[in-house]
Amino acid sequence: MCEHLPREMHKNGKRIVETEVKMATQKLVPLTGDQAVAEAMRQIEPDVVAAYPITPQTEIVMNFSQFVADGKVQTELIPVESEHSAMSACVGSAAAGARTMTATSANGLALMWEIVYIAASTRLPIVMPVVNRALSGPINIHCDHSDTMGARDSGWLQVFSESAQEAYENTIVAIRIAEHKKILLPCMVCQDGFITSHAVEGIELFPDDKVKKFIGEYTIEHSLLDMDNPVTYGPIDLQDFYFEHKRQQAEAMKGALTIIPEVLAEFNKTFNRNHDLLEEYKLSDADIAIVATSSTAGTVKATIDELRKQGMKVGLLKPRFFRPFPKERFVKSLSNIKAIAVLDRSDSFSAQGGPWFSEIKAALYESKKQPLITNYIFGLGGRDIFPENIKKVYSDLEAIKKAGKVKSLVNYLGVRD
Amino acid sequence: MANIKELSKIPERLTGGHRLCSGCGASIAVRQVLMGTTSPVVVGASTGCLEVATTIYPYTAWNTPFIHNAFENVAATISGVETAYRALKKQGKIKKDIKFVAFGGDGGTYDIGLQSLSGALERGHNFVYVCYDNEGYMNTGIQRSSATPTGASTTTAPAGKESYGKPQLRKDLTAIVAAHNIPYVAQACISNWNDLVAKSQKAFAVDGPAFLNVLALCHRGWRSPAADAIKISKLAIDTGFWPLIEYENKKWRFTYKPKERKPVVEFLKTQGRFKHLFKEQNKPVLEQIQRDIDAHWTYLEKLVQVTS
């Protein structure tokens, strides 16, 4: 039985037995997170992939290159000389009307930075798996979210994956979301470096034809290769129009909050899944809750199961999408919780906590109940997080609940003081 | 060789109404280069005067597909476009034969875009890269680049009490590009239009990357009269300041050689950027510039000889 199965089988704290039976009969393939994403890319079969190696993403591009070499996909590969050129070539390719993908991590994403913004503002639906890794310096190859959190204002959609299975599924659904005519924004599909990208899970791969049918053909409205109707991409946009175009970009991101659940509903129906903008785990009757994303959500779930046996009313809110930020859903899910801890796997150096915390706290300003909330920054540079760390957070939350106030707003978990 | 009557029938891809200066070398270079093919062509441009002055939203001076991405990445960008074309053509989604050309200034090519260019050349994309070389960062206000010649005064290497302008030699980008073993490399100049168009025709015709380094005067940066662009460019050729050469099938060749090279001062004295060199204390600099040009010319002659 694969690791993700028990997690998939809970919805609002209830076990879904039908799903369990159905899924247990599916054939599972042992794959790492990187391999699973490469499989998704094989099934998507983009027209063009431009990519550059960087740990821990490299295995995605390696595996995919082998699919190209073996003739399993028709994709044209551009083995660029840097990530800056990877994203630059992606912009050219996507403007030409090709379904285009790349993948990266950490410093690679940082080197792309300039063009990451241009891709979004040009409204090119490039899908980019990002294997989260600590951004230098100091140099470190292990997991944290400083890379993609730094790109949070770039105008890309961002979805975070708890497991290799989710990374696989998010990659597929991201194509439909990014290419939706009312969205047309690029999308980062994030998974945790090494923890997810290099750990082997039993993966349920969907049939190739079913994936192809779900994503459909990509057609661009204004192709750079339409010689009969020539278009100019990337013009200079000055005081008289730049602002309107940025506003349109903002509206597209806002509109994505309504459209993403529609696409996810279709995905869920097609593949018998239960994806949403965010996922609640034993939250409906919880007094205290953790907000955590990516692989850490799995550790929290396991800890919750243990603490629930001891009678503690603990829960988890696992956001999947950071961009767009599902503000109203946070308010709805968290308003009745007495004390909340937001776990951030990156520091924004704002002196007021990590990015998830800042935005969730701001969202809860609109809640009439204004629950007590605190922040834990953890796991930087791949520092492991254990159930003991999670238990410590829940015990802190118990104390906050009893005291009725937060003593320390921003805390660092699992670090030497 | 191109016939001017035939060339006049090729539709203009860069139309009038753009906002480049009158007497701008870049637009002359672009129009001559685009006369090198009658096929449909997609144009890429790096950030710079050419892009800024031809695409002020909501207007465009391009009646052929055009893409600008950023400053340093036009080669990578056009490599993405060209790859998308191959991918879609393979699938039967595109029927036409399309050519691809990227334009970058010397800042976007010699300096910040060198890596992107090198990568695209090495990967062997089927495209023409044109550097419109005006020997400095003219769009940002005349700063020195690695293409700026010795002795030129620019805003970041100005002439002054302790300075005669740029002390270094310019980079030999044409040779660097040739070292990528691509099918066609050439130096050209807007004053020698038949030579330039012939080179452009070759560049578009080869299978794989081709590179044209086109000296394209900027009268704002060179501090010269706008009406004299072609006259001054011709002096660059006749003094050997900008040799008209090409590299093909492992052979270097002069495509034009002045019967007798004029002294380089004939070229230098036409421009305000070299004005300070004519002060008595800078006499040795003028002599050094002449020696450098002579040495490079001799080197090229030997190169032509050993590779012929």
The answer, yes or no, to whether residue B114 has pLDDT greater than 90, is: yes
- Residues in chain B with CB shorter than 8 Å from the CB of A230 are 62-66
Report, in this order, helix, strand and coil percent for chain B, each rounded to 5. Answer: 40, 15, 40
Torsion of CA A246, A252, A255, A259, to 10 degrees: -170
Answer yes or no: are the C-beta atoms of B137 and B145 closer than 8 Å. Answer: yes
Same fold, A31-202 and A278-413: yes
> Would you call B72 an interface residue with chain A, using a CB distance cutoff of 8 Å?
yes
CB–CB contact B116 A232 (8 Å): no
CB–CB contact B67 A95 (8 Å): yes
- Residues in chain B with CB shorter than 8 Å from the CB of A118 are 69-70
- Stated pTM of the model: 0.95
3-state secondary structure B62-85: ECCCEEECCCCCHHHHHHHHHHHH
Q: What is the pLDDT of residue B129?
A: 99
What class is the A31-202 domain?
Answer: alpha beta
- Residues in chain A with CB shorter than 8 Å from the CB of B70 are 88, 114-115, 118
Give mean pLDDT, residues B123-134.
Answer: 98
- Residues in chain B with CB shorter than 8 Å from the CB of A93 are 80-81, 83-84, 87
Q: Running DSSP on this structure, what letter comes out for residue A404?
A: T
Q: In chain B, which ranges are continuous DSSP H helix?
A: 4-7, 25-34, 49-54, 74-90, 106, 114-123, 173-178, 193-205, 219-222, 229-238, 265-268, 283-307
DSSP bridge pairs for A79: A51
CB–CB contact A96 B85 (8 Å): yes
CA distance A289 to A393: 9
- Residues in chain B with CB shorter than 8 Å from the CB of A238 are 56-57
Q: What is the pLDDT of residue B1?
A: 58
The H or E element that residue A77 is part of is: strand A76-79
Q: Running DSSP on this structure, what letter comes out for residue B281?
A: G
CB–CB contact A81 B72 (8 Å): no
Tokens linked to A317? 């809110």
Domain B4-307, CATH homologous superfamily name and number: Thiamin diphosphate (ThDP)-binding fold, Pyr/PP domains (3.40.50.970)
Domain edges within chain B? 4-307
How does strand A201-203 pair with strand B244-248? unpaired
Q: In angstroms, what separates the C-alpha of B102 from chain A's closest C-alpha?
A: 12
Q: What is the CATH number of domain A278-413?
A: 3.40.50.920
CA A67 to chain centre: 25
Nearest CB among B40, B64, B80 relative to A93 is that of B80
Search chain A and give the residue with CA nearest B54: A235
Identify the residue whose tokens are 């039993």: A202
Q: In angstroms, what separates the C-alpha of B145 from chain A's closest C-alpha?
A: 22
Window B:149-168, CB contacts with A under 8 Å: none
> Would you call B91 an interface residue with chain A, using a CB distance cutoff of 8 Å?
yes
- Residues in chain A with CB shorter than 8 Å from the CB of B116 are 81-82, 84-85, 88
Sites in chain A below the pLDDT cut of 70: 1-25
Q: What is the pLDDT of residue A139?
A: 98
In A3-70, beta strands by DSSP E: 10-11, 14-15, 29-31, 48-51
The type of residue at A88 is S
CA distance A51 to A148: 17
| Interface with chain B: mutation pick from A45, A49, A78, A244, highest number of B CBs within 10 Å | A78
B120, B34, B32: which is closest to B78 by C-alpha? B120
Search chain A and give the residue with CA nearest B66: A232
Could you give the percent of chain B with pLDDT greater than 70? Answer: 99
* Rg over CA atoms, chain B: 19
> Would you call B76 an interface residue with chain A, using a CB distance cutoff of 8 Å?
yes
CB–CB contact B79 A47 (8 Å): no
CA-CA distances (angstroms) from residue A119 to A72, A184, A233, B243?
28, 10, 11, 40
- Map residue A188 onto helix, strand or coil: strand
CA distance A9 to A333: 20
Give the N- to C-terminal CA distance of chain A in Å, as an integer. Answer: 40
Torsion of CA B22, B28, B34, B38, to 10 degrees: 80
Window B:52-71, CB contacts with A under 8 Å: 52, 55-58, 60, 62-70
Give mean pLDDT, residues B54-65.
Answer: 97
Answer yes or no: are the C-beta atoms of A354 and A375 closer than 8 Å. Answer: yes
Enumerate helices (H) and strands (E) in chain B, giving the number of each: 12, 10
Answer yes or no: are the C-beta atoms of A226 and A158 closer than 8 Å. Answer: no
> Would you call B9 an interface residue with chain A, using a CB distance cutoff of 8 Å?
no
The H or E element that residue A255 is part of is: helix A242-271
Exposed, middle or buried, A82 (CB in 10 Å: 0-12/13-18/19+)? middle
> Would you call B19 an interface residue with chain A, using a CB distance cutoff of 8 Å?
no
- Residues in chain A with CB shorter than 8 Å from the CB of B69 are 88, 91-92, 115, 118, 234
CB–CB contact B84 A47 (8 Å): yes
> Would you call B46 an interface residue with chain A, using a CB distance cutoff of 8 Å?
no
Search chain B and give the residue with CA nearest A75: B87
CA distance A193 to A143: 5
Name the pLDDT band for B4 (thresholds 50, 70, 90).
confident
- Map residue A322 onto helix, strand or coil: strand
CA distance A191 to A166: 9
CB–CB contact A85 B73 (8 Å): yes
DSSP bridge pairs for B188: B214
Nearest CB among A88, A227, A241 relative to B77 is that of A88
Q: What is the pLDDT of residue B2?
A: 66
Search chain B and give the residue with CA nearest A96: B81
CB–CB contact B84 A93 (8 Å): yes
- Residues in chain B with CB shorter than 8 Å from the CB of A97 are 84, 88
CA distance B194 to B191: 9
Answer yes or no: are the C-beta atoms of A99 and A44 closer than 8 Å. Answer: yes
Q: In angstroms, what separates the C-alpha of B251 from chain A's closest C-alpha?
A: 28
Answer yes or no: are the C-beta atoms of B245 and B187 closer than 8 Å. Answer: yes
Domain edges within chain A? 31-202, 278-413
CA distance A110 to A104: 10
- Residues in chain B with CB shorter than 8 Å from the CB of A84 are 72-73, 76, 115-116
Identify the residue whose tokens are 């349920």: A204
Enumerate helices (H) and strands (E) in chain A, giving the number of each: 14, 18
Q: In angstroms, what separates the C-alpha of A73 from chain B's closest C-alpha?
A: 11
